[in-house]
Amino acid sequence: MIAQLTGLLAQVEADRCVLDVNGVGYLVQASTRTLSALPHAPEVARLLVEMVVREDAILLYGFADSAERDWFRLLTTVQGVGAKVALGVLSALSPRDLIAVIAAGDRSSLTRAPGVGARLAERILSELKDKAGGMPSSAATGAGASAGSGGGIESDALGALAGLGFRRVEAHPVVVRVVERLGAGARLDAVIRDSLKELAR
């Protein structure tokens, strides 16, 4: 199995790129988020890879960080979400945004992703609501980071709330209050959910 590729970036298209590794060109499909993070061709690039073997093809999917790869794996466990739809979701929403959207039950944000209609959005929300809180929000900070880890969970929650349209000045005191109430073992999805309840009042 191929888990990572490092080579010269030979070509970038709308939904894929070609990495030249020692003279072999690997066609790797990726989200727009990952593709935009790549250097300019022909510089050296590194991608984490998920390899999918089918009867008629061997397909490679690339990710800029492990958080996006983990979310790709989780999304494709949902019935009706194939690799193409999962990449569409990850193009529309970052891992941090996904945690906030699922915690809030925000169907409309999910339907902005290509290939996701109202029914599939409901299924994603339903099947992942108990799993999203344990997922990483970024490469550096896991979703389960404690409140005492340098404010990481606070900044992740504020970023997620900003993505949902809340201003930092109104969200910050609410997030601080919620983190203090939930304690050191607070999970990101719980902080976002409780903050949304207070902000909605």
Mean pLDDT of the chain: 84
Please give the pLDDT value at position 138: 66
Sign of CA dihedral 190, 154, 65, 82: positive
State pLDDT tens for residues 114-169. 889 999 999 999 999 888 777 877 654 332 333 333 357 777 787 777 777 777 77
Task: Judge contact between 81 and 71, C-beta under 8 A.
Answer: no
State pLDDT tens for residues 94-104. 888 888 888 88
Structure-block tokens of residue 77: 């466990």
Tell whether 107 is covered by a domain. Answer: yes
The pTM of the full predicted model, rounded to 2 decimals, is 0.70
Q: Are 32 and 50 contained in the same domain?
A: yes
31: left (phi over 0), alpha (psi -120 to 50) or beta: beta
Calculate the alpha carbon distances from 164 to 60, 157, 168 in Å: 32, 11, 11
| CATH at residue 79 | 1.10.150.20
Residue 150 or 31, more confident: 31
Please give the pLDDT value at position 103: 84
Q: Are 58 and 70 contained in the same domain?
A: no
Mean pLDDT confidence for 40-45: 86
State pLDDT tens for residues 117-130. 999 999 999 999 88
- For the chain, the domain total comes to 3
Q: Are 51 and 89 contained in the same domain?
A: no
Task: Judge contact between 189 and 179, C-beta under 8 A.
Answer: no
Domain-terminating residue out of 83, 103, 134: 134
Range of the domain at 98: 66-134
Tell whether 146 is covered by a domain. Answer: no
Please give the pLDDT value at position 62: 95
| CATH at residue 21 | 2.40.50.140
Q: Are 29 and 78 contained in the same domain?
A: no
Q: Are 88 and 51 contained in the same domain?
A: no
Interatomic CA distance for residues 101 and 118, integer angstroms? 14
Please give the pLDDT value at position 51: 92
Q: Are 94 and 127 contained in the same domain?
A: yes
State pLDDT tens for residues 160-199. 777 777 777 778 888 888 888 887 777 888 888 888 888 8
